[in-house]
Structure 1
Amino acid sequence: MGERVELPVPGMDLSLGVIRHGHWGRPVLVFPSEAGRAEDFADNGMVAATQDLVDAGRVSYFCVDAADRWTWSDNAATTEERATRHRAYTRWLEGAALPWIADQVGGDQPVITLGVSMGAYHAVHFALTHAHLAPLSIGLSGSYDVTSWHGHGEQGEATYLANPMSYVAGMHGEHLDWIRRTASVLLVVGEGPFEVSPTQALPSTIAFAKLLSEKGIPHQLDVWGHDSAHDWPWWQKQLAHHLPRFC
């Protein structure tokens, strides 16, 4: 446990890493904060904060690298270009990371997706677009409108399909009914330092929760107080508070 495994990105001459923490229990796919690495989750105390669940065999974390440096964090690229590049990351999750997780746990099992800051976007977005694989997502201090991330240029189909605030608003008919039956989202955010400026996590989380409510998509919004900052010590507390009821 805790050893880094490199998995190739389909169609690209590079690989991204996955690290497992835990022997048994419900698999949790963990996304790091912006441009982060698989090591960040443990290095910042998140495994230790829930060590009782790991030791009891209730949860196994599968932490992945981000690809933000060549997607959402590349501010020289247009929003549409970044959204298009993001598709390669999704293909890696679908074609490399999740099959490796399935092999580790002995077959396909529904996963929980979890992320902090920009990782919360990845967790919620992946679950809402892959609810058959990840019916539950947990976003801590996330921002869910990619068009607000220093974007520029015309925005087309790739941006729409990568932007939860857009495609959830556009959901209707049978697909919306299926999402209502299948998906569930937990959004947690604080009112303290850096949750408004510069991250916009608090207003974005509240706006996204309102949209989920309007669409009838099962979700929970948990807003912590003015002492709750956009930082790892608070994410440790929030995860330890919420995760036990899901595994």
Structure 2
Amino acid sequence: MTRWYSPRVEQYVQLVRWGHFGTPVLLFPTAGGDAEEIERFHLIGALSPLIEAGRIKVYSTDSLAGAAWFAGEHSAAYCSRLQNCFDAFIYAEVAPAIRNDCASHDIEIITAGASIGAFNAVATLCRHPDAFRLAIAMSGTFDLSKYLEGSFNNDFYFSSPLHYLPDLEGPQLEMLRQRLVLLPSGEGDYEDIGQSWRLAQVLGAKGIPNRVDSWGPEWRHDWETWRAMLPQYLDEFA
């Protein structure tokens, strides 16, 4: 574990790593999760064959913006600003730390996450395709506008792929068209695969490769589902 003070999010942050070799995977926690949530809920255990084989190295940091959105204790403007600052923190601090740890200044990173972690995985890839090559966004919560309370602003706009991607043009879009967004979701309790299909429509309209995988009604919005999903996709794409 590495811990430091981030001026971008104005608080202490941590970055935890599992593994020593392989493709770097930045795994975002769920809404209120910290960097070690994925170990407590046995997702790291599910990935252990890939980690021990030296195929992947997994990194995680705290869900700073996600926790703010779902706590309901802050204004929408504050949460939107924190979401935008969290993105800057990931790109300017976390990605370089991962690349330094991998002894490569240009190694491409996979992002992954479930629920709000899926939002962060996609948002990070879409804003920074120069550093990230693939997003595995499981059971995604992609539309955060219901938390805005009418205070839509630029911080939110540029943080939300559903909102800014339709207007995106230029080199960033051209690079995104060489990336891939995977959108697996169950259709059981508390799942909403409609959010994945909506994002897929936005991505597809801009020519960004994506794939929605329905796992069916027997898979619910819970860790058991994600422990089954993530090893399968990383085995295929890492």
Interval of TM-score (by shorter of Structure 1 and Structure 2): over 0.9
Percent identity between matched residues is 28
For 2:104, the equivalent position in structure 1 comes to 107
Match of 1:206 among 197, 216, 228: 197
1:190·1:226 contact (CA, 8 Å) conserved in 2? yes
- 1:94-243, aligned counterparts within 5 Å? 94-108=91-105, 109-148=107-146, 150-181=147-178, 183-196=179-192, 202-243=193-234
- CA 1:31–1:70 in 2, change beyond 3 Å: closer, same or farther? closer
Q: Is residue 51 from structure 1 mapped to residue 48 from structure 2 by the alignment?
A: yes
- What is the TM-score with the length of structure 1 in the denominator? 0.89
For 1:61, the equivalent position in structure 2 comes to 58
Measured in 1, the distance between the counterparts of 2:168 and 2:150 equals 25
- Relative to structure 2, which stretch is displaced further, 79-88 or 222-231? 79-88
Measured in 2, the distance between the counterparts of 1:178 and 1:95 equals 19
Deviations 1:223-243 (A, max 9, x none): 111010100011010112211
2:91·2:128 contact (CA, 8 Å) conserved in 1? no
Measured in 2, the distance between the counterparts of 1:45 and 1:118 equals 18
Measured in 2, the distance between the counterparts of 1:172 and 1:92 equals 24
- What is the TM-score with the length of structure 2 in the denominator? 0.93
Q: Structure 1: state its 5+ residue gaps.
A: 197-201
SS at match of 1:161: helix
SS at match of 2:70: coil
Deviations 1:73-131 (A, max 9, x none): 35344433311122222232223222221221112211000111101100110010001
1:118·1:142 contact (CA, 8 Å) conserved in 2? yes
How many residue pairs end up in the alignment? 237
1:10·1:88 contact (CA, 8 Å) conserved in 2? no
SS at match of 2:217: coil
- CA 1:110–1:174 in 2, change beyond 3 Å: closer, same or farther? closer
CA-atom RMSD in angstroms: 1.8
1:67·1:89 contact (CA, 8 Å) conserved in 2? yes
Measured in 2, the distance between the counterparts of 1:110 and 1:38 equals 21
SS at match of 1:235: helix
